[in-house]
A and B are shown apart, each in its own frame.
Chain A
Amino acid sequence: MEQFVRTTGVAAAILRNNIDTDQIAPGLFAANTPKEKHAEALFRNMRYLASGAPNPDFVLNQEPWDTTEILVVGENFGCGSSREAAAKALRAFGIRAVIAPSFGGILFNNCFRNGIVPVVLPKDIVGHLADEANSADDGTRITVDLEALTVTDHAGRTYAFTAPDQQRAMLLHGLDEIDFTLGMRDELDAFWARDQLRRPWVYHPGRRADGA
């Protein structure tokens, strides 16, 4: 897992509700997008005109937001498809933190595994941060700190957020999730030994209890 501790910088606001993962990373072949193309896929149908030229009205095509590491978005960001290409596209573009009133649950987890912290804050605070994001051309900057679990606005006010302990720890320290779990092998084996007695039918799909 790629490490993330904190970032300070320009934020970009796309204040729409229900931005689904089809919008974040369009197309069925998203799963097979070559690595170097992930950044290009991000918000493809909003970022580019039908001609293929960048859409000058889209915030991520404008300075200083074109190098942002922080997105401020509306409710239920990343709802819909489970495609991890959505998180990969965000990260490949350079995003390290997304701030929203709520997230689609699958993208929320996918963010951690791709070096991005998903930050849930109340709607009015997200609205305020979006206003600040829109003033970034005047030098407005915000900070997202996963260690302190705070977002700090340009005026220095801090807003606390929560993150699941273990996912936070893995992101803070850049831990390999599979290695971590395999390190608990004794605990896993003990669980399965107990559970096989309780729910034997689970462990041998389709087989009779007598093994036939």
Chain B
Amino acid sequence: MGSTFFQKIWNEHIIHSFSERECLLAVDRLVLHDMSGSEALFQLDKAGRIPMKPEMVFSTIDHFIATFPGRGPEDERTVSTSGTGATKGAGVERMSILRNLSNKFGVNFADIGSLNQGITHVMATETGIALPGLIIVCGDSHTSTIGGIGAVAWGIGASEAQHVAATQTLLQTRPKTMRVTIDGVPGPNVTSKDIVLHLIRQIGAQAGVGYSVEFAGSAVRDMPVEGRLTLCNMAIEFSAKMASVPPDEVTFAYLKDREYAPKGAAWDEAVRHWRTLRSDDDAVFDSEIHTDITGLEPQVTWGLSPQHTVGISERIPDPAHETDELRRAAMERAIAYMQLTPGDTVLGQKIDVAYIGTCTNSRLSDLREAARVLRGHKVAPGVLAVCVPGSSSVRAAAEAEGLDRIFIDAGFEWNESGCFGCTGLPGAAGARTISSANRNFENRGGLQTRTHLASPATVAASALKGHIADVRQSQALGV
């Protein structure tokens, strides 16, 4: 029996096995940010320890930094502090801890002002910090994103991150393997975000518990790297800690000459190794899921879990038809919280905020998709529209091709990079928001904030209309 992509990489990294599944693994890259990463370094320092291999540790500031244009390195974002007992200034402190200890320990630090600064999962791939076959961890659940370039990457807690910093290893239980095969050609204006929302609706938000996922199939093969990153980003939203697209020629072309990618003969040697990192034809997965996305339409969430998704032309389901008691209760709660009516459509729901950004959809291709919809049009009156590029280099690249003008002329705020709207959206409490983010959880965007998840193109189309819109119609009619 052959091995899966995941098994090959996992086995390559085992330093010591404590039992059949529980191993001490070598970690190739530790990525730290100002929220959990500052805590990991703070505790490390407090215990009088130092990083084992600082050259393999990378840090940047994304969670607490303000994103308004012209922000300085000490500017803290505005945020709801409800219920945590935290006070204003807490973010400034976390950023300063990360900055000081990154410098003290000599880890690779991208501060505010550096082009490498950005959301960890965005900057890690575009700089080549992340490479195929590497085990990469970060104190952030969306680290699964990085699997899109053929790495095995997952989110960990701050204590685990401290352990990785101190030892460059991690104690971990081997997950089971799941292959998700996605075939078919979706309808027009449908992106990997729509595909993965549709998948989560089909399989449920718990389907990936305990699994490492491999995405396969013609739709994934045809997808550019940035689409694959979005796909893997959302794996944690069906509770798979990690997901990957094994590396191929598309991956190698994307990574070649990136700052931290190997160069010259080392690149050639690495690529030879990376070509072996694919699941063998006779590999057996613990679970197999197939889905065909032929003709799929744009998708939008209506509820409080990414599994609460519908196609843009569909109606909001009626909880009364759900037989499972807990699922029904969750649907009822979601419909009440979101102030919707079963049988109604999400299409046409009036919005207050439109947000483009987050580690899910803030790369250059995402901004291009949105700009294509926005070009020459205006955001509807009363809608607060904000775009936050995923990294300072994405922002610079977008400006170099004039995308910033398209956003600004349409009435969008054009911000500096950071996590901003993923946790704590702009706009008033209770605002109805359409967002290119990944979580529509209760109160995540702020108290009572009602978040609908969608692709950047759907967010842009909705911003123009002032209500949740079908991007296909905007395109056909030229809005």
| A residues at B contact (CB < 8 Å) | 15-18, 20, 22-23, 25-34, 36-37, 40-41, 44-45, 48, 74-76, 79-85, 87, 102-107, 109-110, 113-114, 164-167, 177-178, 181-182, 184, 187-188, 191-192, 195, 199-210, 212
Which residue from chain B places its CB closest to the CB of A170 in the assembled complex? B171
Chain A residues in 8 Å Cβ range of B1: none
In the complex, per-residue mask of B88-120: 1 if CB is within 8 Å of any chain A CB, else 0: 001101100000000000001000000000000
Binds A, one of B160-168, B246-254, B288-296, B400-408: B160-168
A18-B305, A33-B84, A210-B265 given as contacts; is B159 within 8 A of A182 (CB)? no
Q: How far is the CA of A192 from the CA of B53 in the complex (A)?
A: 11
A109-B160, A184-B24, A200-B266 given as contacts; is B330 within 8 A of A16 (CB)? yes
Q: How far is the CA of A40 from the CA of B86 in the complex (A)?
A: 11
Which residue from chain B places its CB closest to the CB of A17 in the assembled complex? B326
A26-B443, A31-B36 given as contacts; is B93 within 8 A of A18 (CB)? no
Q: How far is the CA of A204 from the CA of B29 in the complex (A)?
A: 11
Chain A residues in 8 Å Cβ range of B270: 199, 201
Given contacts A81-B439, A106-B157, A184-B15, 13 further A-B pairs with CB under 8 A are A15-B326, A17-B326, A26-B83, A37-B86, A45-B83, A79-B209, A80-B439, A113-B159, A114-B159, A181-B163, A181-B169, A181-B171, A207-B262
Chain A residues in 8 Å Cβ range of B158: 31, 84
A29-B86, A106-B156, A182-B166 given as contacts; is B424 within 8 A of A82 (CB)? no
Q: How far is the CA of A30 from the CA of B140 in the complex (A)?
A: 13
Are B326 and A27 within 8 A (Cβ)? Answer: no
| B residues at A contact (CB < 8 Å) | 12, 15-16, 18-19, 21-22, 24, 26, 28-29, 35-36, 38-39, 47, 49, 55-56, 63-64, 79-86, 90-91, 93-94, 108, 128-129, 131, 133-134, 139-141, 154-160, 162-163, 166-169, 171-173, 175, 205-206, 209-210, 236, 239, 241, 259-267, 269-270, 273, 305, 326-327, 329-330, 423-424, 439, 441-444, 447
Q: How far is the CA of A52 from the CA of B122 in the complex (A)?
A: 38
Chain B residues in 8 Å Cβ range of A76: 205-206, 209, 239
A33-B85, A81-B141 given as contacts; is B205 within 8 A of A178 (CB)? no
Are B85 and A41 within 8 A (Cβ)? Answer: yes
From the candidates B82, B131, B265, B439, name the one contacting A26 in the complex (CB within 8 A).
Answer: B82
Q: How far is the CA of A20 from the CA of B26 in the complex (A)?
A: 29
Please, could you name 12 A-B residue pairs with CB atoms under 8 Å apart, sorted by A?
A: A27-B84, A28-B423, A41-B84, A75-B326, A84-B158, A103-B209, A113-B160, A178-B163, A182-B167, A188-B168, A205-B55, A209-B264
From the candidates B80, B140, B210, name the one contacting A82 in the complex (CB within 8 A).
Answer: B140
Are A22 and B442 within 8 A (Cβ)? Answer: yes
Which residue from chain A places its CB closest to the CB of B443 in the assembled complex? A45
B81 to chain A, nearest CB (A): 5
Chain B residues in 8 Å Cβ range of A209: 262, 264-266, 269
